[in-house]
Structure 1
Amino acid sequence: MAEDLDKKEETLIEELAEKIHGEDDSSSSESESEKEVKKSKPLASSPSSVKDKIFRLFGREKPVHQVFGGGKPADVLLWRNKKISAAVLGGATAVWVLFELLEYHLLTLVCHILILALAILFLWSNATTYLKKSPPRIPEVRLPEEPFLQFAAALRFEINRALAVLRAVASGRDLKKFLVVITGLWFFSIIGSYCNFLTLFYITFVLLHTLPVLYEKYEDKVDPFVEKAMIEIRKQYAVFDAKVLSKIPRGPLKDKKRA
């Protein structure tokens, strides 16, 4: 009898131990499954993955206003204040008409403006002594240093970036970039044969004041059209690469690097 009781106690202890281990294993497996579900959920519902599927022109992720800096220049380009934008565009048109159509020269214009302004102020200052009135208050004009430094720094950055691109193209490592740069330079050379630098600058200025605001208004229609065009261009480039570029003999340097 004593042996039977001992055996029953041992079996009860073993069953209790197995139940405890089974609960631990199930809880750990449940926690691991919950972790896997939690890990998989944000990937499926993350907003960044949805945004990545939407094609935007030039690969932008910000609104058009922020792409242009988000300040006063962006307000002018996107016609946030129509009076200022119209005044800027009208001033640029007047300058182009004056120098291009009327063939006025910059130095002549500056000299004529200074002659007129100095003559008016000189006569006004002398007339006040006879008329017993206060002389005109000529403001002291001083150009601030910071805007010129910012402009010079931005211009230096863009020039250095352009030089880096030209150096990368000249190194012969990227045939696609080489063809793009050559095509762009050839296109600008054709434009330059039909118009001078001032006309080209004015055309660029007008495009900057028209294309961004039109794109911001119709971006939902422009982006899908550009996406289809880019897909078609990539297909044509792949065909051109397979039929022409891949058959061009490569230099010994590239073969050595790959070997």
Structure 2
Amino acid sequence: MESDSSNGVSKISNSNCQYAWFNPARLHPAVEALLYWRDPKKSGVVFGVTLLTLLSLTAFSLISVVAYLCLFTLGGTICFRIYKSIMQAVQKTSDGHPFKDILELDLTIPEDKVNEIGKDVVKYVNSTVATLRSLFLVEDLIDSIKFLVLSWVLTYIGACFNGLTLIIIGVILLFTLPTVYEKNQAQIDVYVKIAMDKLSIITNKMKAAVPEGKKEEKKDQ
């Protein structure tokens, strides 16, 4: 058994994340840099501001949180602009606007990019609608049973947490799990493979116990 597990680790590590759920190559470079903490300062600021905003929403209304964010942001930028103007006047320099580099950034979204995003959204919506139709109309009994169990589990999760709490937990996991997986990839992949194999065995047993599944197997034969 020990040799099998060690072989499993080596195979997984050599197959370039065969069972990887976190793949940095699939992400935009900027998103990948944030989630994997390539620049700890930027990731820390984004994570902190996002988490603070979500925590604020638990105590205040959305309008109040947005208003306070705008208030503090504008207050900070105005004070910084006045400070830099005074320093330029005292030192007799001509550095110009302190936010010149940011103001000159091109923030316009190209039309081809919008069309590409629109196509991806349409594909995702169509795929989701088709999947939901298949689940609710019991096209595959096993898949519908899985969805039923998932819905049942979600009722208990919903009783313990509200939507905002789940979003906060999701943000925390989003900024922690990728780095944890990256550092412990081989070990995690082994356990994920074991879990997936056991799930596959259970699913196959369920399909074998369902009459419809047996009929389909006979047709295939």
- Band of TM-score, shorter chain: 0.5 to 0.7
Q: Note if contact 2:19-2:192 (Cα within 8 Å) is conserved in structure 1.
A: yes
Decide which of 246, 252, 255 is 2:211's aligned counterpart: 246
Provide the aligned C-alpha RMSD in A: 4.2
Which of 121, 128, 144 is the matching residue for 2:108? 144
Aligned to 2:147: 181
Higher relative contact order (CA 8 A, sep 6+): 2
Change (3 A) 1:152 1:143: farther
Match of 2:52 among 89, 94, 100: 94
Distance 1:145 1:214, change over 3 A: same
Show the counterpart of 1:56. Answer: 18
Equivalent residues of 1:98, 1:104 under 8 A apart:
yes
* Structure 2 residue identity aligned to 1:76: L
1:178-234: CA deviations, max 9, x gaps? Answer: 122222233333222222222111211211111122112211111122212222222
Aligned to 2:64, which of 108, 115, 126? 108
Give the TM-score, by structure 2 length. Answer: 0.63
Q: 1:206 to 1:99 in 2, by over 3 A?
A: same
Unpaired runs of 5+ residues, structure 2, are 1-10, 83-96
Query: Matches of residues 1-259 of structure 1 in structure 2 within 5 Å?
Result: 54=15, 56-57=18-19, 64-67=23-26, 69-100=27-58, 103-112=59-68, 117=74, 144-146=108-110, 149=114, 154-243=120-209, 245-246=210-211
State the 1:145 CA deviation.
4.2
- Cα offset, 1:112, TM superposition: 4.6
| Cα distance in 2, alignment partners of residues 137 and 77 from structure 1 | 29
Shift of 1:155: 4.4
Structure 1: 5+ residue stretches without partners: 1-49, 126-135
Distance 2:108 2:203 in 1: 50
Q: Percent identity?
A: 21
* Secondary structure at 1:173 match in 2: coil
How many angstroms apart in 2 are the aligned matches of 1:56 and 1:219?
11
* TM-score, scaled to structure 1: 0.55
Q: What is the number of residues matched between the two proteins? A: 186
